A and B are shown apart, each in its own frame.
Chain A
Amino acid sequence: MVESASRILRKVLREEAFYFFSSIGNYIGEKAASLEEFSEKIKEVNSKSLEFHLNRGDFEKWVDEVLGDAGLAERIKELRNQKLVGNRLKDELYLTILERYNELKTDLLQSV
């Protein structure tokens, strides 16, 4: 479990980072190379960018395939199905990721 938490919380390579777009091909200049950075960027980027990626399933794909956290990917997928938009989406997404981040951090701390 600790190994898993450590792996999910790691910083990934530049080419594996999540790059935020506002629409097809329009990169807004924000990226996240770890779950911690990802949660911070969710607060910073425009809701339109979040809607774009959530509707495409980009977030859950990156969390699952790059970070290796199938559980969080499933929670994000549930959010997608709720069809949230705007600040409501931003808040729910941020809380979902933060909650998972805190769980993983707790796992790591308890193992020390």
Chain B
Amino acid sequence: MKIKRQAISLDDLDWKILQALQENAKQTYSETGRLLNVAHSTIYERLKKMEEHGIIKKYTTVVNFEKAGMKHITAVMTIITDPKESENVAEKLSEFNNVLEVYTSLSEELLIIAKVVAEDQSKLHSFIAHSVAPFPGVLRIRTSIITKKHKEEDFPVGPNINLSKEVDADK
């Protein structure tokens, strides 16, 4: 049966389920139910509904690559493009497995920002020189190799999140 991806409104329980799963997606329906004081069947039904409507895109695993022994470098490419070709460039970039995220941004010039991983600097350069620079419409590329990760989190779910909340400097 084909499910229509119509927007649905989430109630308080839905948000709480999402928050619980964002903390730990491996927990069972029963564990989530116990945590929120509802039956596991309710959790199942709510999750099914949110999966069918595409609110939950997937359940995944966050791997610590260093501990897994996978040596790699991460870099952020900022690509300045001809505006007529930017969508094509973004689509083609998105097809590469080593390109993890692709965004477009309009500042003074039309930019594509992409996060890319490679085994080492030599392979990173080779990828950019042979696979990215030749795309029609690529005007310039600036690449920053990430040397230290200070924070990486998913967007926190919730109905009323205060994104402008500031840290009190006096504390």
Contact of B141 among A14, A15, A17, A27 (CB under 8 A): A27
Query: Quick check: is B77 within 8 A (CB to CB) of the other chain?
Result: yes
Provide 28 A-B residue pairs closer than 8 Å at the C-beta atoms, listed in order of the A residue: A14-B134, A14-B136, A15-B134, A17-B134, A19-B129, A19-B134, A24-B121, A24-B124, A24-B143, A24-B145, A25-B75, A25-B77, A25-B124, A25-B125, A25-B128, A25-B141, A25-B142, A25-B145, A26-B142, A26-B143, A27-B128, A27-B129, A27-B133, A27-B138, A27-B140, A28-B140, A29-B80, A29-B140
Query: Quick check: is B139 within 8 A (CB to CB) of the other chain?
Result: yes
Nearest-Cβ distance from residue A50 to partner chain B, whole angstroms: 15
Q: How many A-B Cβ pairs are below 8 Å?
A: 40
Nearest-Cβ distance from residue B100 to partner chain A, whole angstroms: 15
Q: How large is the interface on A (under 10, 10 to 19, 20 to 34, 35 or more residues)?
A: 10 to 19
Nearest-Cβ distance from residue A76 to partner chain B, whole angstroms: 18
Query: Can you name 4 extra interface pairs (CB under 8 A) apart from A24-B124, A28-B140?
Result: A14-B134, A15-B134, A25-B145, A27-B138
A residues 1-56 in Cβ contact with B at 8 Å: 14-15, 17, 19, 21, 24-29, 31
Q: Which residues of chain A are within 8 angstroms of B151 by Cβ–Cβ distance? A: none
Nearest-Cβ distance from residue A2 to partner chain B, whole angstroms: 30
Query: Quick check: is B2 within 8 A (CB to CB) of the other chain?
Result: no
Q: Which residues of chain B are within 8 angstroms of A29 by Cβ–Cβ distance? A: 80, 139-140
